[in-house]
C-alpha cells in the first residue's frame, strides 16, 4: 500500500511537471519567431522546475485497484473478444494488476445472454469463403484452448489477425452508425464468450465486473431479470468470481430508446438484483456497483439523487462516467485546454455532494472515463496528446478522494484505447505503466 501511494505521488509529480511545461512551450511559439533556435534551447535549458514531493504524510491512500480498466461489449460485435486469449494482450493487462475489468458500455443494455457454446454455429456459416475459414480457425483455436489447464493462452497466426482487423474495420462503420443515430441492435453473449472474457480477466489478474442489461423490461416497466438469472446460474456453476452492475447511463434511456426509467424505479431494480444475487449462493456476497450515470447535468443529477435516496444502500460504490471530447475535435490544442481539464473537478464536486448527503461513507468511482466518446479521434485520442488529460484525470481523482478510476477502453477498435490492434501498447498505457 505505501509503495502504491509513493509511486502514485511520482505520477502526480510528472503530471505537475507537464502542467508547468505546457505554458512555457506555448509562450515560446511567439518567442521562436524572433530568436535563433539555439537561443530558444538556452531558454528552455535554464527553466529549472523544482518539485517538492512530500512522501511522509500522505494526502490520500489509494485503493490497490485505483487504476482499473474497462472493455466495451462492442468487442463481441467486432470479433476482438475471440482474441483476448492472446499472450501479448494478457501480458500487457497483467502489468496493471491488481485492477478491476469492467465489461460494460453503451451496449450493456443490448446484451442478450444465450447459454450456447459456439457463436459461429449459432450465426450459421459466414457469408464468404474467407470468413468461413476464419470462423473455423477460431473454433479450432478454441478447441486447442480447451485442452489447456488453468490460464488459457493462444498465439494467433498472422493471417487470422489480418482477417480479424479487416472484419473489425468493417464492423466499426456499423457500430459508429449505431452510435451516431442512437439506434442500437442487440448483442449476443454466449456462454462461450463469457468463458473467454473470464479467462482473460483471470489470466491477467483482473477482477471482472459484469454490466447486466437493464433495458430488458416487463410491460409495467419493472426490470425483467430472467436473462440475468440464467447468466448468473451459468457463471455460478463455473465458479466465476464476478461483481455486478445494472445498466449504463440510465439517464439517457429516454433519448436512446424512448423509454424512461425514473430514480425510484431504478432503485427498485437494483434492490431486486441484490435480492437475486443473494438467492444464488455463490454470489450471495458479491459486490454490486452503480448506477453509472452519464455526465452529471440536470437530469442525471436528479436521477442520482433519487437513486441514492431510495436504493443507495445496495451498491458497494457509486459510479458515474465521463468522456471529455466529442468527435468534432480535430486539433492537438483542443486536448490541452485547461477548461477541458477542469470539467472533471466540477463533476467530482457535484457527485460527491449528492453521495455525502445520502451515504457519507459510500465510496465513489469514476466508473468509466475516456478522452473521447464514440471510438475517439484518429491520431489524437490514442496519442501523447491525450496523455495530459489522462494523467490529469488520475491526479485530480486521487486528490479528490475518488476510490477507483476505470479507463475506457483497454482494447477495442477505435482511437481511445490503451493497446492497438497489433497488440502494441499505446501512449495511454505507457503513461501509466510507471505508476
Ligand atoms: C421476461 O423475459 C422473458 C424472455 O427473456 C420472457 O419469456 C418473459 O415472459 C418475460 N417476463 C415478463 C413478466 O414479461
Ligand atoms: C416512476 O416510474 C414508475 C413506472 O416505471 C411509475 O409507476 C412511478 O409513478 C414513477 N414515479 C415517480 C416518482 O414519478
Ligand atoms: C472474489 O474476488 C474478490 C475481489 O478480488 C475477493 O475479495 C474474494 O475473496 C473473491 N471470492 C472468492 C470466493 O474467491
Ligand atoms: C499522425 O499525425 C502525425 C503528426 O501530425 C503525422 O506525422 C502522421 O502521419 C499522422 N499519422 C496518421 C496515421 O495519420
pLDDT tens figures, 117-152: 755 555 544 444 556 677 788 888 888 888 888 999
- The C-alpha atoms of residue 99 and residue 102 are separated, in whole angstroms, by 10
For residue 48, what is its C-alpha cell? 529549472
For residue 418, what is its C-alpha cell? 490503451
Which ranges in 249-399 belong to alpha helices (H)? 253-257, 263-279, 298-311, 338-358, 387-399
CA of 286 to the centre of ligand 3 (A): 8
pLDDT in 10s for each residue of the chain, 435 residues: 333 443 444 344 344 433 333 333 333 333 333 444 555 555 556 677 888 888 888 888 999 999 999 999 999 999 999 999 999 999 999 999 999 999 999 999 999 999 877 555 555 444 445 566 777 888 888 888 888 889 999 989 999 999 999 999 999 999 989 988 889 999 999 999 999 999 999 999 999 999 999 999 999 999 999 999 999 999 999 999 999 999 999 999 999 998 999 999 999 999 999 999 999 999 999 999 999 999 999 999 999 999 999 999 999 999 999 998 876 777 888 888 888 889 999 999 999 999 999 999 999 999 999 888 777 888 888 888 888 889 999 999 999 999 999 999 999 888 889 999 999 999 899 888 767
Q: Determine whether the shortest distance from the Cβ of 230 to ligand 1 is under 6 A.
A: no
Q: What global pTM score does this model have?
A: 0.88
Query: Ligand 1: which of 111, 226, 269, 272 to mutate, judged by most atoms within 8 Å of the beta carbon?
Result: 226
Sorted by where each begins, the domain ranges of the chain are 5-48, 63-432
pLDDT tens figures, 80-94: 999 999 999 999 999
Beta-strand ranges (E) seen in 99-249 are 99-103, 111-114, 187-190, 206-212, 242-246
Asked if residue 390 lies in contact with residue 428, where contact means CB atoms within 8 angstroms, the answer is yes
pLDDT (0 to 100) of residue 28:
33
- The C-alpha atoms of residue 377 and residue 330 are separated, in whole angstroms, by 7
- The C-alpha atoms of residue 190 and residue 120 are separated, in whole angstroms, by 10
pLDDT tens figures, 148-203: 889 999 989 999 999 999 999 999 999 989 988 889 999 999 999 999 999 999 99
Q: Determine whether the shortest distance from the Cβ of 218 to ligand 1 is under 6 A.
A: yes
CA of 221 to the centre of ligand 2 (A): 9
Pick the CATH number of 63-432 from 3.20.20.80, 3.40.640.10, 3.30.1490.100, 3.90.1200.10: 3.20.20.80
Q: Determine whether the shortest distance from the Cβ of 181 to ligand 1 is under 6 A.
A: no
Ligand number, closest to the Cα atom of 221: 2
Query: Ligand 1: which of 212, 215, 218, 228 to mutate, judged by most atoms within 8 Å of the beta carbon?
Result: 218
Nearest Cα residue to 365 out of 267, 221, 232, 245 = 245
Considering only CA atoms, which residue is closest to atom 10 of ligand 2?
262
The CA angle 167-170-174, to the nearest 5 degrees, is 125
CA of 433 to the centre of ligand 2 (A): 46
Q: Determine whether the shortest distance from the Cβ of 179 to ligand 3 is under 6 A.
A: no
Ligand 2 site residues, Cβ closer than 6 angstroms? 221, 262, 264-265
Asked if residue 322 lies in contact with residue 295, where contact means CB atoms within 8 angstroms, the answer is yes
Beta carbons within 8 Å of 319's beta carbon, 6+ residues apart: 245, 289, 290, 291, 292, 293, 364, 365, 366, 367, 368
Of ligand 3's listed atoms, the one at least distance from the Cα of 98 is 5
Asked if residue 68 lies in contact with residue 62, where contact means CB atoms within 8 angstroms, the answer is no
Query: Ligand 3: which of 65, 241, 243 to mutate, judged by most atoms within 8 Å of the beta carbon?
Result: 241
Amino acid at each position: 500500500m505505501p509503495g502504491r501511494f509513493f509511486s502514485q505521488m511520482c505520477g502526480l509529480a510528472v503530471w505537475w511537471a507537464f502542467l508547468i511545461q505546457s505554458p512555457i512551450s506555448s509562450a515560446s511559439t511567439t518567442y521562436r519567431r524572433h530568436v535563433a533556435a539555439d537561443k530558444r534551447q538556452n531558454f528552455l535549458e535554464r527553466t529549472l522546475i523544482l518539485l517538492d514531493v512530500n512522501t511522509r504524510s500522505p494526502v490520500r491512500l489509494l485503493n490497490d485497484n485505483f487504476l482499473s480498466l474497462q472493455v466495451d461489449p462492442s468487442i463481441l460485435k467486432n470479433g476482438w473478444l475471440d482474441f483476448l486469449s492472446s499472450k501479448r494482450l494478457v501480458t500487457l493487462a497483467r502489468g496493471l494488476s491488481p485492477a478491476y475489468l469492467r465489461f460494460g458500455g453503451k451496449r450493456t443494455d443490448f446484451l442478450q445472454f444465450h447459454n450456447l457454446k459456439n457463436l459461429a454455429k449459432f450465426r450459421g456459416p459466414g457469408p464468404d469463403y474467407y470468413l468461413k475459414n476464419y470462423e473455423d480457425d477460431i473454433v479450432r483455436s478454441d478447441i486447442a484452448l480447451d485442452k489447456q489447464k488453468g490460464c488459457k493462452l493462444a498465439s494467433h497466426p498472422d493471417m487470422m489477425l489480418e482477417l480479424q482487423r479487416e472484419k473489425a474495420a468493417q464492423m466499426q462503420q456499423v457500430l459508429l452508425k449505431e452510435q451516431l443515430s442512437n439506434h442500437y441492435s442487440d448483442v449476443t453473449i454466449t456462454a462461450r464468450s463469457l468463458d473467454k472474457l473470464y479467462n482473460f480477466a483471470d489470466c491477467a489478474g483482473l477482477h471482472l465486473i459484469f454490466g447486466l442489461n437493464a433495458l430488458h423490461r416487463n410491460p409495467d416497466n419493472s426490470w425483467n431479470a430472467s436473462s440475468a438469472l440464467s447468466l448468473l446460474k451459468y457463471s455460478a456453476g463455473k465458479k466465476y468470481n464476478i461483481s455486478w452492475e445494472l445498466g449504463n447511463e440510465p439517464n439517457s434511456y429516454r433519448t436512446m430508446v424512448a423509454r424512461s426509467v425514473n430514480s425510484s424505479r431504478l432503485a427498485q431494480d437494483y434492490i431486486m438484483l441484490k435480492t437475486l444475487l443473494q438467492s444464488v449462493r455463490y454470489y450471495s456476497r458479491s459486490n454490486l456497483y452503480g448506477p453509472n450515470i452519464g455526465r452529471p447535468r440536470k437530469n442525471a443529477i436528479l436521477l442520482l439523487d433519487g437513486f441514492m435516496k431510495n436504493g443507495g444502500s445496495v451498491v458497494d460504490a457509486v459510479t458515474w462516467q465521463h468522456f471529455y471530447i466529442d468527435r468534432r475535435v480535430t486539433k492537438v490544442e483542443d486536448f490541452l485546454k485547461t477548461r477541458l481539464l477542469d470539467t472533471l473537478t466540477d463533476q467530482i464536486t457535484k457527485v460527491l455532494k449528492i453521495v455525502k448527503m445520502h451515504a457519507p461513507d459510500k465510496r465513489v468511482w469514476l466508473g468509466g472515463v475516456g478522452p473521447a466518446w464514440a471510438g475517439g479521434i484518429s491520431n489524437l485520442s490514442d496519442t501523447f496528446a491525450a496523455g495530459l488529460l489522462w494523467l490529469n484525470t488520475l491526479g485530480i481523482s486521487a486528490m479528490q478522494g475518488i476510490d477507483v478510476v476505470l479507463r475506457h477502453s483497454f482494447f477495442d477498435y477505435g482511437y481511445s484505447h490503451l493497446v492497438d490492434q497489433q497488440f502494441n501498447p499505446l501512449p495511454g498505457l505507457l503513461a501509466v505503466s510507471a505508476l
